[in-house]
A = this chain, B = another copy of it.
Amino acid sequence: MQQPIQNYIEHTLLRPDISDKDIENLIDEAIKYQFVGVCVPPYWAKKARRDIGKNPIQLVTVVGFPLGYSRSEVKLKEIESALREGVNELDVVVNISAIKTGMYGWVKAEIAQFAKMIHEQESFLKVILETAYLNPQELEQTAKVCIDAGADYLKTSTGFAPTGAEISTVQRLRSLAPSHVGIKASGGIKTLTQTEAFIEAGAERIGTSASIAIMEQWQEKIKHS
């Protein structure tokens, strides 16, 4: 491991039943632990931007989340709104239903539209592949079209599918992607051991809502090493 563990962690809160207080706590914790980013629902992005202030924390939100089957024009509107509110990184769910219909050319064109809009604002596009639903061939072909379309990161999971990130999937994505495309592991990551294993497998970012527990385990480990 090259860097302190907090440099990998996007402190995440995407449950549908959170309140303004939960967002305030999330930002306070991110400032305290110096997490690389926070990932919040679209509805809370504007407040999160204000609460982050001048702190060096990336503001991340989600698009077409978590099912991926919104219309392109709706995802574009969602991206446009988020960018206007100062979001730095957009985690967009790929249209899994279009993949299952074999429409890879369409998927590539859709992601390319998103990349153009996001890159014009010097922000990052992370494409969530929701790997739980993809077989190895679909995973490979989807990763390829997303890379070709300009994705900055490939992200494994929403956390709302039957399974989340898996080590073998992260290794596979890392081997498929060129070095300028990062991998974000997310979904079911709850411990320091898991976090370190995903980083070892090639993840540059870890999306988790168990960030505080992971940091406490990390600090304990540092103390005894």
Over the window 14-39 of chain A, the binary record of Cβ atoms lying under 8 Å from chain B Cβ atoms (1 yes, 0 no) is: 10111110000000000000000000
Over the window 57-99 of chain A, the binary record of Cβ atoms lying under 8 Å from chain B Cβ atoms (1 yes, 0 no) is: 0000000011111110110011001000000000000011110
Interfacial residues, chain A to chain B (CB-CB below 8 A): 14, 16-20, 41-44, 65-71, 73-74, 77-78, 81, 95-98, 100-101, 130, 133, 160-161
**Can you list 17 A-B pairs with a CB-CB distance of less than 8 A?**
A16-B66, A16-B96, A16-B161, A17-B96, A17-B100, A17-B133, A41-B97, A43-B69, A43-B70, A43-B71, A44-B69, A66-B66, A66-B67, A71-B78, A73-B77, A74-B81, A77-B77
Given A17-B96, A17-B100, A19-B97, 11 other A-B residues pairs in contact with their CB atoms under 8 A: A14-B67, A41-B69, A42-B71, A42-B74, A43-B69, A43-B71, A65-B67, A73-B77, A73-B81, A74-B74, A160-B160
